[in-house]
Structure 1
Amino acid sequence: MKNTVPESQCLILIVDDEPFIRAQLRLSLQCEGYRTAEAEDGRQALAIFQELQPDIVLLDAIMPDLDGFECCTRLQLLEDGKYTPVLMITGLEDQESVDRAFEVGAIDYVTKPIHWPVLRQRVKRLIQQFHLQQKLEAANRELQRLVTIDELTQVANRRRFEEYCAQEWQRMARDQLPLSLILCDVDFFKAYNDTYGHRAGDRCLQLVAKAIESCVNRPADVVARYGGEEFAVILPRTYPDGAIHLANAICTAVRELQITHLTSQANTCVTISAGVATEIPVPNSDFQEIINAADRALYQAKMTGRDGCQQYIKQSSSPVYFLNAHHRLA
């Protein structure tokens, strides 16, 4: 959806097969400070609309080839067409024509001969309503964003993590493709908080979140704060080798922050442990399966010295084994 522009800069697309009517509309609207574009038929209007993305369309109902009713119907199918107000201009005043104008998506209509003061007021009102609607929708989008974002770290929150994990689990089950999950835990974070204070702890989590995000490049991959000092990375369509490669890159990125942590038993700087799991979901199964698997791998990473990652591998012939992918600085 296009951004709101000041009313005086609004672009109005005039669509009428009569040059004289188009000229009258153009002069009248330009006197009010609006910018204008013109089309002489419905097909040309659709092409110009996609090119210029006008703020409002003044559309003649009766035109040869593609009339205003059909043009309006097709406008509604375009990406931004359903959001752009259409004011129908018609010489028809019968109830059927008026009803049809609204049915195909017009917001309002005026009749010919055009009463210019009425037209100006209706155009002004439609633009104001359109801009108000844009602001409300932008506010709603921001509200939706805020309820899915962790306030401290600005990555996805636990709620968004669970929604997205469930969504991708179902999608991968349908497509029979792998879903990978990385669970990360900041090593000895309680000791860090106790030593350096909660403000430093918050800053540490913010930097860790940014380091994790810097390693994740695909739009479909989601980084989330799983809880406390735990983070998660959801990786649709990712096989085990790709997931463990990314987990190692994340561990390295956090280590390279070089945040001093002298009370850590894993290193002299802040590090993370990571558990990696990959599964091709079975239809009608629960996404909690991959969370449990990644959590088991994370536990194994902690048991083998932290500051690295372990990968959970599920085999049909044996219950489970862990692939040691532990990397530490000397």
Structure 2
Amino acid sequence: MANHVKKKTRVLAVDDEPSILELLKTALNALGTYDVTTASSVDDAIQTLERQEKPFDCLLLDIQMPDVNGITFCAELRKITEYRKTPIIMLTAMSDRDYIDRAFAAGATDYLTKPFDLLELRSRLGTASMLIEEQGRAKSSIEVAKALKDELETNLHFNLEDPIAIDDVDNVLGYAEFENYVIQLSQGKLFNSFATAVKIANAEALYAKLSSSAFRAVLHDVAAAISRLVRKDGYMVCYRGNGVFLSISHRRNGPLHPGAELHLNQIAATIMSRHAERQDVKLIVGEAASMRAITKYGSLYALNKAVDNVENRVVSETDVMSLPSHVVMHRSRSTAHAHLERRAYETVLDDLLRDEPRLRSNGT
């Protein structure tokens, strides 16, 4: 029987500290599943990228470097087709919230502060590797779909519960990037943040009525409306599935709150008026949920609380009671909602194992 050798994950590490580069190269190469290339500056990294026959699978970037900082480099990488979706992990000593916000807004997938735990880095890289595999499978599926039927609708089909990615909207993160952002905030003990959910009240009816591409366009326009309302304050947004968007703000009385519903709906209507077939969309804003938690799982549960808050408002709003009853009362837990709970429990277990090395050794 032929041996199947797992393909190594090709990593480019960029840092101006030789000791960090040596540590990364030695430690990750020793795991046997990574092939690490290093660069001591952005210029060096660019030259390295240009020499490659195939793109790297993952990039580790320092923020503070003498020529160009890692955040700027991350933003430039996202403009390159081959690196639009490549996992980028920031490895930096900068723990200020401003740097975290700017890094994720520039397209970072994850953020790890120095001095970092090699076990934690391995865990983050493992998550990045799974993301690479999922993207590869998605690409293969699209290629198969095109071969079977060259129709856009086939390629764009998704379920209502799916937390699909929304591209090219400022401060809108993917599902995994958003969770990493929230966890990084909690690790930095930045407890003055709040999660607010926005729901398309008639999402189920629109999904049933529209084609996949038309519904995706609605989601894109709603994301653009939320972004326009909050991006001046640097707040991050993510689509979670079931017509629900989440935003993280750093003050309770930010621009996104139930009293801002009218303004938000006006912005959305203006954006949607560009389309020939305008859709009537009703947006509901939930009460903010405090993320004042000591642990990472507490922050993840705050996201669930924000989703529950907006679902409760959808049911209680008298102006949406005219919608079909199955639209108003249908409150099934989306796959994204269930994943939040599972991720929270996994985070509790991870913290427990980290705090009690004996448990980790007994479990292996």
Report the TM range for the smaller structure's normalisation: 0.3 to 0.5
Give the greater-gyration-radius structure (CA).
Answer: 1
Give the alignment's TM-score, normalised by structure 2.
0.40
Give 1 or 2: higher helix fraction. Answer: 2
Give the alignment's TM-score, normalised by structure 1.
0.44
Give 1 or 2: higher strand fraction. Answer: 1
